[in-house]
Structure 1
Amino acid sequence: MEGQAYCMVMRVNLDCNSCCRKMRRNILNMKEIEKHLIEKQENRVSVCGRFKPADVAIKLRKKMKRRVEILEIGEVVTHYEAQEEAPIIDRYIH
């Protein structure tokens, strides 16, 4: 997988259950998205994975034929990257 890991929250008008099913189907077909959460009541969709946020929003806008508004984008530090940055301390008890 290429690129930085992001978690993105978008606002999409999801009127009915069929809109939610269509959104879920489109998200599952995108290989770069690892996790997703669809909140129908709040009209919010959250996705996490290794992708370019603008590209995912554009793809969803074209497939859903609805306006997609990006509310929040956050970088995710993977477990491997967190281990790299953490200092290693060795202590010997005599």
Structure 2
Amino acid sequence: MDGQICCMVMRVNLDCNSCCRKMRRNILNMKEIEKHLIEKQQNRVSVCGRFKPADVAIKLRKKMNRRVEILEIEELPVHYEAEQEAPIVNHYKYY
């Protein structure tokens, strides 16, 4: 599982802006998470990276002191990363 990219959606009760800041700070300190999205209105947190979903949920539960419910887990194939990280080449000429 460590070799695959995993995307996970969780439900966490985020009451206020300080809860969102604390969640963002905790996610940014986890090196295995590459991308994240925090939706305060829907109480959802989406993370992508190379990790085990249960480990990330347990870490966030301990650090946030809140219940973390895993809603969805999607495992992406390894070649998916190469397609997403393709460089964008601009063919503009500046005179």
TM-score bracket relative to the smaller structure: 0.7 to 0.9
Q: CA offset at residue 4 of structure 1?
A: 2.0
Count of aligned pairs: 82
Instruction: Normalising by structure 2, report the TM-score.
Output: 0.80
Separation of aligned partners in 1, 2:77 and 2:43 = 27
Name the amino acid aligned to 1:9: V
Give the CA deviation at 1:76. 1.4
Q: 2 CA distance for matches of 1:4 and 1:59?
A: 20
After superposition, the CA RMSD in angstroms is: 1.8
Q: Which SS does the other structure have where 2:18 is aligned?
A: helix
Percent of pairs with identical residues: 88
- Give 1:3 shift: 3.2
**Match status 1:12 vs 2:12:** yes
Write the mapping of 1:43-54 to structure 2, written as runs, cut at 5 A. Answer: 43-54=43-54
Structure 1, unmatched stretches of 5+, are: 84-94
Q: Computing the radius of gyration over CA atoms, which structure comes out larger, 1 or 2?
A: 1
Q: Which runs of 5+ in 2 are unaligned?
A: 84-95
